[in-house]
Amino acid sequence: MKTDDLVSMLANGEVAVSRRRASSRIWLAVLLGLPFSFAILLAGYGVRHDIVQAMFWPMFWVKVLFPLCIAAAGFVAAERLARPGVKPRHAWMGAVLPVLGVWLLAAIAWFTMPADDRMPALMGQSWRICAASIGLMALPVFAAALVALKGMAPTRPALAGAAAGALAGGVGASVYALHCMELTAPFLAVWYVSGIAVPVLVGALLGPRLLRW
């Protein structure tokens, strides 16, 4: 059977791919990659010294949870895209809404703070390393997710790769948040979103090459 014919048959739903199998493989990818992300954090960065105190600050939880929401949306999208003929539906909205929420918080903070405080709030002390650090901590989950998707049947590899990137980027940002001292909404809106966007774009570019049948 020609590959194009097989893809067409799968896309038409004539061959089923178990939802449980897809979900289990992606969960396994997260569980395998996450310890390596924490290892990178602990070996190269360390947890912020005031982590217990920071847990009482609302912006700390914004910093941790909005990337996790993106990761959850990426998981759902990847799980659906791993099954031929299954559309991601509204999964991408689960990734977009947290970003819009952080951008809204950033806009409110930007226009209500004194003009002299705006650039320090945007750049913080760690803007040079933030996005790259998020990408580094996302790498183990990203690689594991691509391997998991490779073992299934994504018929839209670019989207599947982007979904793997959203999953990994969200996880990486949440792990990095345990080290990062920045708490301003403008900083999160630019540098955290940029750090998450990088694996999404890389996944979209690599997907057609690595996930192609």
| All structural domains of the chain with their residue ranges | 3-210
| Confidence at residue 151, expressed as pLDDT on a 0 to 100 scale | 84
Q: Per mean pLDDT, which range of 24-28, 42-46, 81-85, 194-198 is the poorest?
A: 81-85
| Confidence at residue 12, expressed as pLDDT on a 0 to 100 scale | 54
pLDDT of 37 above 50: yes
pLDDT of 141 above 70: yes
Q: In the structure, what pLDDT confidence band is assigned to residue 2 with cuts at 50, 70 and 90?
A: very low
CB burial string 116-143: b at 16+ within 10 A, e below: eeeeebbbbeeeeebbebbbbbbbbbbb
Q: What is the pTM of this model?
A: 0.89
